[in-house]
């Protein structure tokens, strides 16, 4: 398998995992930066993630132009991906989803914050992208690069942003990391709503705890965690685990 074939196989697995974990349904998508050309990225044609196969994966410029469409229709919201790769050269994978538990935190004035150690990579408080601020009333989709770049500015130097009334975007240096963050963003949101129901102050991870967890990940030990999670999720999704 070439490097590109391996990347495509992992991207197919990422789609199946995110569907199996309930992060995406018929909508939502995951991309990876092209392993040989940083000015390109790989993303499926418009298809439900749980159905995606290697032949569905298309190549795009950062501006969202398909290089090898061959009659395949791209996702309307592909600009989310290119805008983040353009703004953040160190990022190599992006997940966009409408996972349900995060939605209340984009609309009700309660910030999404990590209370579970696995959710430390979402950052101390997840920013919210408000499309109305720059674009007035829209159909809520990210339909061009101007909107994609505005969303990327909301992500800033972090790994995630909520999209008000719509969903979220998550980015990572590696595909397995981005999938991990997307899964635990949803898990944390669900747990935070449960914790808030007690009506008492919630004891979130401190800035120091987040920093120590991320420092451990930066030393490389975290990839073991990402890989372990990935192997289990592959099994759950009924697909082969490819050791990297
Ligand atoms: Zn969307």
CA 23/CA 50 separation, integer angstroms: 11
Q: Is 223's pLDDT higher than 70?
A: no
Q: How far is the centre of ligand 1, averaged over its atoms, from the C-alpha of 167 (Å)?
A: 6
Check whether 186 has a pLDDT greater than 70.
yes
DSSP state of 191: H
Residue 169 Cα to ligand 1 midpoint, Å, equals 9
Contact in structure between 147 and 131 (CB atoms under 8 Å): yes
The residue count of the chain comes to: 244
Ligand 1 centre to CA of 97 (Å) is 6
Q: Which residues of 86-118 are buried (b: 16+ CB within 10 A; e: fewer)?
A: bbbeebbbbbbbbbebbbbbbeeeeebbbbbeb
Residue 244's pLDDT is what? 78
Q: Which two tokens stand for residue 132?
A: 């109305």
Q: How far apart are CA 43 and CA 29, in angstroms?
A: 8
Residue 220 binned pLDDT confidence (cut-offs 50, 70, 90):
low
Range with the poorest average pLDDT among 142-146, 199-203, 217-221 = 217-221
**Residue 221 pLDDT more than 60?**
no
Eight-state DSSP code of residue 125: S
Over 70: is that where the pLDDT of 235 sits?
yes
Distance 87 CA to ligand 1 centre (A): 20
pLDDT in tens, 197-209: 999 999 999 999 9
| Best CA proximity match to 174, nearest among 29, 44, 34, 32 | 32
* Dihedral class, residue 136 (left if φ above 0, else alpha if ψ from -120 to 50, else beta): left
Asked which of 93-107, 150-164, 221-235 is least confident by mean pLDDT, the reply is 221-235
Reported as a pLDDT band with limits 50, 70 and 90, residue 225 is confident
Measured distance CA(183)–CA(175) in Å, rounded = 12
CA–centroid distance, residue 234 to ligand 1 (Å):
24
Rounded mean pLDDT of the chain? Answer: 96
Residues annotated as catalytic are: 77
Residue-level pLDDT at 184: 98
Q: How far apart are CA 78 and CA 149, in angstroms?
A: 12
The pLDDT value recorded for residue 112 is 98
With tokens 């990572």, the residue in question is: 172
Share of residues in the chain with pLDDT > 90 (%): 91
Q: Which residue has the tokens 């392993």?
A: 35
DSSP 64: -
The CA 76 to ligand 1 mean position distance, Å, reads 9
Ligand 1: centre distance to CA 68 (Å):
23
Backbone angles phi, psi at 200, to 5 degrees: -115, 160
Summarize pLDDT for 88-129 with one digit per residue, the tens.
Answer: 999 999 999 999 999 999 999 999 999 999 999 999 999 999
Burial class (CB in 10 A: 0-12, 13-18, 19+), 219: exposed
For range 58-86, the mean pLDDT: 97
222 has pLDDT over 70:
no
**238 C-alpha vs ligand 1 centroid, how far in Å?**
26
Burial of 234 (0-12, 13-18, 19+ CB in 10 A): middle
């Amino acid at each position: 398998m070439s490097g590109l074939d391996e990347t495509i196989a992992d991207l197919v697995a990422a789609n199946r995992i995110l569907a199996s974990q309930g992060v995406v349904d018929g909508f939502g998508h995951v991309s990876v930066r092209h392993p040989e050309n940083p000015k390109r990225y790989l993303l499926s044609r418009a298809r439900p993630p749980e159905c995606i196969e290697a032949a569905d994966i298309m190549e795009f410029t950062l501006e969202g132009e398909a290089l090898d469409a061959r009659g395949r229709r791209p996702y309307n919201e592909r600009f989310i991906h290119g805008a983040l790769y353009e703004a953040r050269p160190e990022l190599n994978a992006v997940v966009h989803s409408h996972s349900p538990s995060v939605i209340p935190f984009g609309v009700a004035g309660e910030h999404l914050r990590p209370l579970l150690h696995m959710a430390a990579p979402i950052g101390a408080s997840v920013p919210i992208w408000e499309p109305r601020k720059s674009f007035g009333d829209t159909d809520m989709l990210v339909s061009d690069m101007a909107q994609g770049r505005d969303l990327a500015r909301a992500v800033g130097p972090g790994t995630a942003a909520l999209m008000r009334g719509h969903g979220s975007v998550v980015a990572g240096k590696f595909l397995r990391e981005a999938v991990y963050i997307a899964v635990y963003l949803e898990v944390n949101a669900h747990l935070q709503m449960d914790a808030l129901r007690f009506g008492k102050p919630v004891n979130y991870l401190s800035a120091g705890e987040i920093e120590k967890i991320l420092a451990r990940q930066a030393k490389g030990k975290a990839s073991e965690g990402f890989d372990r999670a990935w192997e289990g999720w592959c099994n759950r999704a009924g697909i082969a685990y490819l050791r990297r």
